[in-house]
Amino acid sequence: MIKIINLKKAFGPKQVLDGVNLEIEKGKITVIIGRSGEGKSVLLKHIIGLLKPDEGKILLDGQDITAMSERDFSEVLKRFGMLFQGAALFDSMSVAGNVGFALKEHTDMNDEDILKIVREKLNRVGLANVEDMMPADLSGGMKKRVGLARAIVMDPEIVLFDEPTTGLDPIMSDSIADLVLDTQRALKTTYILITHDIPFTYKIADKIAMLHEGRIIEEGTVEEMKANQNPILRQFLEGRAEGPIKVY
C-alpha cells in the first residue's frame, strides 16, 4: 500500500534519514523500532505529509505523495488517521468535541449525527458515557483510547501511531496492545506504529522494521526478528547498554 524509496532528510549538518526503503502492506500492522533520535518520528511525519524529503519518494497506491500539490495532498490526507504521542487532546474541548473534531471540520454532518458516530467510536475503544468529560478528568490510558477514537472517527484506511504506550505502566500497555489488535482486526485498517516498547511490539506486529543511523537495517515478522542475530538489533531487543554503566 505504501512504498518508501530511498528517503533522505537532513536538518543542517545532521543526516536524520539516509536512504530509507520500506514497504507497508495493506491491512497489516507494521511497527518501526529504533533508539531515540534515530528518526522514527521524522519518518512518520514524512508519511503523513508534515515534512518533505530532500530526496526519495513515498508511493501510496503507486502515487508519489511527496510530489503532490498541497490541494491534492489534502484529499489524500483524509485517508489517514493519527494517534499522537500522549494523545494530544484539545484541553478546552470535551471528549465528544475531541473525537468529533474532524467530522465537524471536514463534513457537513449535523451535531446529532456527529454525536452518534462519536459514541460509536468511543464504544469501539471500550469507552462509554464519557463524551461529556474533559481531558483533565481522564487517566493516561483513557486519553490514549480517546485519541484512538479520534484517529478512527473518519474511518481512515491508514492509522499512524507515535509511541502509543509512552507513560503507561506494563499492564496498561498490554491493554492498549489488545485495543490496537481489536480495532485493526475489526476495521481491517493499515496500522503503522513507532515504539520503544518491545513486549508491545511482539504482541501486535505483523512486521517489524528497525531504523538505525537513518536506514532500515533489518525487517521481518516477530519470529524472524527474534531469530535475527544482527548485533545492533539484538542489543535493542534485549535492552542491553553498549558498555558498562558507571554509577557515581
pLDDT tens figures, 7-25: 999 999 999 999 999 999 9
- 168 or 54, which is more confident: 54
Whole-angstrom Cα distance, residue 3 to residue 228? 23
Question: Model confidence over 136-194: pLDDT tens digits?
Answer: 998 888 888 898 888 888 889 999 998 888 888 888 889 889 888 988 988 889 999 99
What pLDDT was estimated at residue 167? 80
Cell numbers for 115: 454525536
- The count of C-alpha atoms lying within 13 angstroms of the C-alpha of 29, restricted to the half-sphere facing its C-beta, is 24
pTM for the full model?
0.87
Could you tell me how far CA 57 lies from the centroid of its own chain? 20
Query: Are β-strands 29-33 and 207-212 bridged in parallel, bridged antiparallel, or unpaired?
Result: parallel
Whole-angstrom Cα distance, residue 212 to residue 195? 14
CATH entry, 2-86+150-238, from 3.30.200.20, 3.30.1370.60, 3.40.50.300, 3.30.470.10 = 3.40.50.300
Which residues, in sequence order, are bridge partners of residue 219? Answer: 209
Running DSSP on this structure, what letter comes out for residue 183?
A: H
Domain ranges, ordered by start, for the chain: 2-86+150-238
Question: Model confidence over 57-116: pLDDT tens digits?
Answer: 999 999 999 988 888 888 888 889 888 776 678 888 999 999 998 888 888 889 999 999
What pLDDT was estimated at residue 246? 46
Cell numbers for 124: 469501539
Whole-angstrom Cα distance, residue 27 to residue 190? 4
DSSP-assigned letters across all residues of 71-138: HHHHHHGGGEEEE-TT----TTS-HHHHHTHHHHHH----HHHHHHHHHHHHHHTT--S-TT--GGGS
Question: Model confidence over 203-246: pLDDT tens digits?
Answer: 999 999 999 999 999 999 999 999 999 999 999 998 877 654 44
Could you tell me how far CA 162 lies from the centroid of its own chain? 4
What pLDDT was estimated at residue 201? 95
